[in-house]
Amino acid sequence: MWEAVAHWAAKVKLGVEIEIIKLLGEDTIDRGSYVLVLRDYAVKVVSGEPSVPQSVSGVTQYSEQKWTDDPSDLMESAREGSLCSRIFLRVNSISR
């Protein structure tokens, strides 16, 4: 199930087809009215070029993307509640 969701999200949120390499980590966060459970995967893009936002209605979309070699760029979003950023930083032993 999780892998199917990763493939779906890659397509509708980034416009790409992926191959899953490995699970990086999982975490949960209480958002008040619901509990979010999220997994981060290492993936390989096999088709397409990541682009945001996608023109898929009814799905939340990313508003921007940034390519970087500096994982500390994720610290601000992690502090603001981004669960995927928190997982990535933890897996890579980077303190936020």
Q: Convert the pLDDT of each residue in 73-94 to its tens digit.
A: 999 999 998 999 999 999 998 8
3-class SS at 25? strand
Q: Would you say 64 and 13 are in contact if contact means Cβ atoms under 8 Å apart?
A: no
Q: Given pLDDT bands bounded at 50, 70 and 90, which one contains residue 64?
A: confident
Q: Convert the pLDDT of each residue in 15-58 to its tens digit.
A: 999 999 999 999 999 999 999 999 999 999 999 999 999 999 89
Distance CA 35, CA 28 (A): 7
pTM of the model: 0.83
